[in-house]
Every structure is written in structure tokens, then in C-alpha cells.
Amino acid sequence: MAEGRETDAIAERPVELAYRPTVGELASALRARARSTGAGRFRGRALVWTVAVTLVGALLSTAGSSHRDTPWPLYAGVVAVAALMTATPWLQARHLHRLAERQGDIRGTVDDTGVRVTTAHSSAAIDWHLYPRYVETPELFVLLSADRSAVGFLVLPKRAVADPKEVDRLRAVLDRRLVRADATGAPGGPRSRGRAVGRGAGSVALLLLGLLLFFFAFTAVRTTTRPDHFPGIQNNTAPIAVVLLGLGTLAVAGAWRLVRRMAAMRTVTAVLAVLVLLAGGTVLYRVGPMLHCWGAARIARGPEGAYVCYDF
């Protein structure tokens, strides 16, 4: 009986925290919030696609006789906007950190009734219904408000507890009272298994896409590398082949990223990725000697194997 009461007392004892948030922690919390909301995920995907399309357009527009008409101001503007979007969490974190510094050190307790926070100038008791979900990162627990955009959030650094074992107690309290907003879902659950199958299928699809792009890259320069079958001056398609090689490499990297945390698929994907990249390396071996003619409209291979550039 006494042992049972002691165990209950330990379970009910609040988890105590003492910390002062850093800029890095606040930026990490903002990124975690973005990954857990539909709007944040949409902005992230839009940023990736914008940069990818801009990069492809810039590479293609510098090829051939049209390279003098490349709209560099437009590309520079897109890159600047992308850089600003990428830096936004850090800029916001800097602003939030200045506000937090005015409060000084933060002390708090977390138990099944909620979170209580005390600073040098204020104190607050926060009920769980204000933050019904949370995200865990390697360094933080980030509590999110109920609205779809998660405008409100509360950062609980794992370093704030005195004993590392208290992190497990804190996680247990959050799991009892809140819902995880992590994109991965609960390990072993049906949703998690469904995501794992989807990631595996997506990884295979990306590997096949990478292989297909490498094949197209080889096809793009096939006539130039075979002067015995296709003699004379050819259109310079080496820049197109380079773009296809780059996209194929990105597809392989995406395939690895999808399964990097899945032990079952990681080894298989790594082996297939190496084979696909070897195919890409073979194409790059053919394209490499042509790259000095990047801005030329046409190209021809001489009898000794060297490539001659023609800008007409």
C-alpha cells in the first residue's frame, strides 16, 4: 500500500522547468509549427517548386544562342524572395527573443491540470484546452493552439528539466492530455503503417523517375557522341542533359529522404539509389567533355574526340 501511494505521488508530482529561450529554439519551434499546419506545408512545397523551376529555367535559358536574352533580374528576384521566405522563421525568432529577454528567466511546472509559467514580471496558468496538440523535435516540445494556423504556441525546451529522465515524464503528461500533431503519427498505428507503405512506394517511384531522367539525358546527347552514325554539326543539347541529370539526382535524393528513418526500406533504397546514380555517372562521363560549349548553339565532335563549339 505504501509503495503504491509513493508511486502515485511520483506520477502526480509536476515536472519542473527552468530556462531562457534562445533564438535557435524559437526558430526551431516556428519551423515545427509550419510543418504541422496545412498552410505551412503548402508554403514549404511552393518554395521548393519555385526554386526548382527557377533553377531549371535559368540553366536552360543560358544554353545556346538565346543566353544573351536571359532575364537575370527576374531570376535574381525569385532567388531573393526564396531566401527571404527561408529566413523568415529566424527573423521572427529574433523578434520573439527580444520580447522574451525582457521577461528574464522562465520557471514553470507541467502536470495534468495544465502549465504554469512564472517570469520576473508575470505569471500565467494555462489550461490544456488552449493548446490541445503538440509537436516534438529533438530539442523541444512545442504546444500548438487549436486554430488551423496554430497562431499561438508554447515552447518547452527539453534542456529546461534538471534530470534527463524528467523528459519522459513530461512527454507522458503531454500524451495523456494532448494530441500529437507530428506528421509521422504514432509508431505502429494504422496511420503510421499506411504512411510507411506510401513512403516506400513513393521512394520506388522517385528512383524510377531518376532512372528515366538519366535515360532522357543520355538520349539528349546521343547524336553528338556518335559521330560515326550522326556526322556533322549537331544542336548543343548538353545543357539540357545537365538539367536532366540534376533533376534525376534530386529525385534519387528525394527517394532516400522518404525512407531514411525506415530501417526496412533504407538498405534496399540505398542499393537501388547507388545503381541509379551509377547510370547517371555514366551519362555525366559522356556529357562532361561538352560543358565548355555551354553557351554555344551547336557543337561537333572531331575525329580525335574533342568537341568544337559553333555559335550560330
pLDDT at 291: 84
191 or 84: which carries more pLDDT confidence? 84
- Note the helical H segments in the chain: 2-12, 23-35, 38-61, 72-103, 165-177, 190-220, 222-225, 238-259, 263-287
Burial 87-121 (b: 16+ CB within 10 A, else e): eebeeebeebbeebeeeeebbbbbbeebbebbbee
Contact predicate 150/144, CB 8 Å: yes
pLDDT at 261: 73
Torsion angle in degrees (nearest 10) through CA of 273, 274, 276, 281:
140
Give the separation between CA 161 and CA 166, rounded to whole angstroms: 6
pTM, full prediction: 0.57
Contact predicate 55/76, CB 8 Å: no
DSSP code of residue 229: T
Quick one: pLDDT band at residue 142, thresholds 50, 70, 90?
very high
pLDDT average, residue stretch 68-91? 74
Quick one: pLDDT band at residue 174, thresholds 50, 70, 90?
very high
Residue length of the chain? 312
Give the separation between CA 59 and CA 54, rounded to whole angstroms: 9
Listed residue (11, 184, 253) closest to 111, CA to CA: 11
Contact predicate 15/174, CB 8 Å: no
Residues 15-71 pLDDT 10s: 999 989 889 889 988 888 888 877 777 777 777 777 777 776 666 666 555 555 566
Q: Read out DSSP for 139-178?
A: SEEEEE-SSTT---EEEEEGGGSSSTHHHHHHHHHHHHHS
Which of 290-295's residues contact partners 24+ apart within 8 Å by CB, and which partners?
Answer: 290/221, 290/224, 290/236, 290/238, 291/238, 291/242, 293/236, 293/238, 294/62, 294/63, 294/238, 294/239, 295/62, 295/63, 295/64, 295/67
Mean pLDDT across the chain, nearest whole number? 81
Q: State residue 136 phi and psi, 5-degree precision.
A: -110, 130
Listed residue (177, 174, 152) closest to 161, CA to CA: 174
Residues 263-291 pLDDT 10s: 778 888 889 899 999 999 999 898 888 88
pLDDT at 141: 93
Percent of all residues in the chain with a pLDDT value above 70, rounded to a whole number: 85
pLDDT at 183: 45
Q: Is the pLDDT of residue 11 over 60?
A: no
Q: Is the pLDDT of residue 228 over 60?
A: yes
pLDDT average, residue stretch 72-94? 78
Contact predicate 89/47, CB 8 Å: no
3 or 39: which carries more pLDDT confidence? 39
Cell numbers representing residue 258 in the block? 522518404
Would you call 17 helix, strand, or coil by DSSP? strand
pLDDT average, residue stretch 198-222? 87
Give the separation between CA 262 and CA 200, rounded to whole angstroms: 9
